[in-house]
Chain A
Amino acid sequence: MRHGPLGEKPHPHKGRTKDGLAGGEVVARVLDETWSDPPGFLGWFCAVNHKAIGRRFLVTCLVFFALGGLLAATMRMQLSRPGNTLVGPDLYNQIFTMHGSTMMFLFAVPVFQAVAIYLVPLMVGARATAFPRMTAYSYWIFVFGGVMLYGAFFVNAGPDAGWFSYPPLAGPEYGAGKRSDIWAQMITFTEVSALLDAVIIICTVFKMRAPGMTLNRIPLYVWAMLVVAFMILFAMPAVALASSLLIMDRLVATHFYNPGEGGDVLLWQHLFWFFGHPEVYLIFLPGLGMISAMIPTFARRPMFGYTAMVLSLIATGFLSFGLWVHHMFATNVPELGKTFFTAASMLIAIPTAVQIYCWIATLWTGRLNFKVPLYYVLSFFVILVIGGMTGLMLASVSLDSQVHDSYFVVAHLHYVLIGGAVFPLFGALYYWYPKFCGHLMSERLGRWSFWLMFVGFNVAFFPMHILGMNGMPRRVYTYPAELGWGTLNFVSTLGAATLAIGIFLTLVNALRSARHGEAAGADPWGAGTLEWLAASPPRTCNFAALPVVHGRDPLWQGVPAGQVDHVCGLAADVREVLCTTVADAKPDSRMIFPEPTPAPFVAAVATTVLFVGSIFTPWAVVWGSIPLAIVLVWWFWPSQREAEEELALESTEELRAEQA
């Protein structure tokens, strides 16, 4: 019998109970006990279970969505008639900056990561996300960043230079006060969170898939999230760099963006849009993934063109990094270079078109179970296609020179982002709600909500195309009556109100159904992917026995005769997980996962102190790193008990070998 490096002895009891279907409910209970978070108020800060974190993360993002929506409603009210004085220019500038920043950084990107933190382990047949404590840390960092931003807004220090924060307007000379510093640090917070979540998703997908889930059997939604995670890894550092340089310009008088001292304001635009354009695609690729999950279920057949779909997702991910200059066609970058970006922007329409054709082909040959999620999916076809076409118009250098920075762009981006992300997200909400709450949402209320949203959205945003062509620029807090923009703006405000009512109905539906909804079994839609194998809501350990996969839609295709259908033999009383190989998902190794701890929360607090402090003084980076280092040392300090448990697992293996 071996001992640990410090002479630890194997734990006397641990590692003897093994998982698997043979153990029945008794072992399943042991597993639930092992994987559960500590109870009580303090336990809440220690949670590392991916479902707990994912649920909180999702609710937090939806709260930010609601706040961003209220800001949008205020803007629509201000613009509903010419010369309105509901809000003045200073507040209006803060509001539209907050709206854009909230929707981009606190809702659109994180909400899909939140859903992925919850769903991806279930869909790949795992018991946890990779790096559970990091998952918790990234959630807390995200919350603190959002709270800081809104805290600043409520004390009239909300950023006011736009979500794109162009210097010199956001620079030291013209961006007075701490407003732009708050914005730049909010980027740092959400950045850290997004990058960590990307790493978590990549590792979960690559190393924790159920045996048999080879690369060409991964559900399309998981593929989409994998591509998105890689895009985040390459796109986000650009904006982190940009915002760090900005805060240095403002705080320690560097001159990166100061043309008077040899800096360049266009440097900001290149860095920002090198992130900003992939951002659009990393917002709408998860939506595509969700659609690819829902269409086969409601068309009752496997997805047509799986390989083409995967390649399209990957192609979109690559191409999205080659388009950023089409946000800068009005600047004086070389004309020939601009033409290249026109061509690249047109090119990226092809993979999206291929996916749309594959979905139509799937619907064409299916039998349709017309439920609310399918309504949202179909609305995507109408809205996103219009948004894509106006996108082609914006991709043309000369056409863009007219419509750029006008309300045409406002219309375009909302068609793309609401059509490409929010409508699929709402469909996904209706679709996966049972997996979160165990009940189905009301179909009737869902249809009402859908139609109000669909009509409201189009009434709100379609007129903006025309306003833009009539010359209405973006980001104006009001406009003179003589220009005749009043009527369409009023119509748009009515549409926005309708859209808001529609969204509110879904909220009511979600709250009501949590109590009164029809109970959903494990698989209420008859879907084919693994998350529907788990109970609704899933038990703490997700699966009493990890499944073994034999096809792309394992629940539909079943297990061929004579093949294994589940994994057994992992420890049930220790957080032991199975790692599989990247390409073929063959069992590779076992790993002990960490237990709940308040360390991520405390580390997030320490990080927050450092980040917020560095808005005011560069020394915060120096002094703030000391408590952070102490917390991190505590976090990563190896525990004797873990070493003992690990030894116990090995020793029982030896025991078995001896017995054999």
Chain B
Amino acid sequence: MNPGVHDMLSAWGPQAGHVAWLWNVFLAICTVVFVALMVALFMALRRAPRIDAPEPPDLGTVNVPEPRLRRSVATAAAITILGLLALLVASVFTDRALARLPLQDAVNIQVTGHQWWWSVKYVDGAVSETFETANEIHVPVGRAVVVQLAAADVIHSFWIPSLAGKRDLIPGRSATLAFRADQPGIYRGQCAEFCGLQHAFMAFEVHAHPPAEYERWRRLQVATAAEPAEAQAQRGKQLFQSVSCAMCHTIQGTLAQGKKAPDLTHLASRRTIAAGTLPNTAGNLASWIADPHRHKPGVTMPAIPMSGEDLAAIVAYLGTLQ
């Protein structure tokens, strides 16, 4: 499976673009200074005569000023200060450019970090227009996205390297992050603040669509889950509502209204399961439900003992949740 773009230097939006530009400025200035310093050191080593034993020290400089050396060091220090000033100015201008992302007509999303997954809530429009999903954020190309960040348990950090820098999600505090994707595509993101056992598998994806396609997706998400047609899937729905799945998961339009775990209303439309841990295939889904700890040791989802037949029915039902 193509994991999506995940690289701070391949910038696909203005925010990551500004930072990539700043990176180039820093890299250029630092490289010049580093090379200059190495040349100076190399010349000093070339120039100074070699001796093999501790000869008597040169005490000619005790209490005697060395104006040439002093001038050189002072000049080098002055150049250093100028270089640092240049870096500072470049940095501050980048901060300003980042803060000036146009936000009119922005898409508003609430992202909450949980151990170890992301809940994503689209909050624009009337209440009937809002909906919730998990671990997969869809955005329209060319429109700014304002993400309100919150944490449900410990500190997490929201990071999509190809679109924007990271922001921490801190319990008891609110933060926002704005970005814009300028090209359609799939951009990978991952939690960047150590958050416990499965910090390594707390990924998410940002899918950027052309506006019409985004609108289609949004319409689909607002809808409640479709009623399954096949008998096996129908049995799966019954099972889902009667065994412990429904204690934690929500499927809109059914009795399952748990709030502890990812909303599964449109699970089948997502590319991955378990916060980017596995591709969303029937086999992976079955294997995940049978024993989540095999894939993600320490995850809060328990393994529910059930027959192979029941498991197949639930997987079949989840497969209908387009």
Contacts and interface: CB of A to CB of B under 8 A. Distances in A.
B14 to A, nearest CB: 12
B30 A401 contact: no
Interface string A283-300: 000000000000011011
A559 interface: no
Interface stretch (B2-10, B240-248, B263-271): B2-10
A477 B10 CA distance: 25
Contacts of A393: 23, 26, 30
B44 interface: yes
A556 B95 contact: no
Interface stretch (A234-242, A274-282, A465-473): A465-473
B7 A331 contact: no
A301 B52 CA distance: 15
Interface residues of B, number: 89
Given A398-B22, A475-B194, A302 B62 contact: yes
Contacts of A385: 34, 37
Contact of B6 (A296, A347, A403, A470): A470
Interface in A341-356: 342-343, 346-347, 349-350, 353-354, 356
Contacts of B91: 342, 395-399
Given A168-B155, A401-B165, A526-B54, A265 B172 contact: yes
A364 interface: yes
Report which residue of A265, A297, A353, A399 has the largest number of chain B beta carbons within 10 angstroms of its beta carbon: A399
A-side interface size class: 35 or more
Contacts of B168: 330-332
Contacts of B61: 301-302, 304, 365
Nearest to B197: A89
Contacts of A508: none
Contacts of A552: 62
Nearest to A349: B84
A363 B44 CA distance: 6
Given A357-B73, A364-B69, A398-B165, A168 B198 contact: no
Nearest to A398: B94
Contact of B77 (A353, A398, A526): A353
Contacts of B153: 168, 173-174
B209 interface: no
B73 A361 contact: yes
A525 B23 CA distance: 45
A408 to B, nearest CB: 9
A404 interface: yes
B55 A367 contact: yes
B57 to A, nearest CB: 5
Contact of B95 (A301, A339, A483, A526): A339
Contacts of B8: 402-403, 469-471
Interface string B151-170: 00111010101001111101
18 contacts: A174-B153, A174-B196, A265-B173, A335-B99, A350-B81, A357-B76, A357-B77, A360-B40, A368-B50, A381-B37, A398-B19, A398-B95, A399-B23, A399-B94, A401-B167, A482-B1, A528-B57, A556-B59
Q: Which 3 A-B pairs have the closest CB atoms?
A: A259-B172, A401-B165, A526-B54
Interface of B: 1-3, 6-9, 16, 18-19, 22-23, 26, 30, 33-34, 37-38, 40-41, 43-45, 47-59, 61-62, 66, 69-70, 72-73, 76-77, 80-81, 84, 87-88, 90-92, 94-95, 98-99, 115, 153-155, 157, 159, 161, 164-168, 170-175, 188, 190-200, 297-298
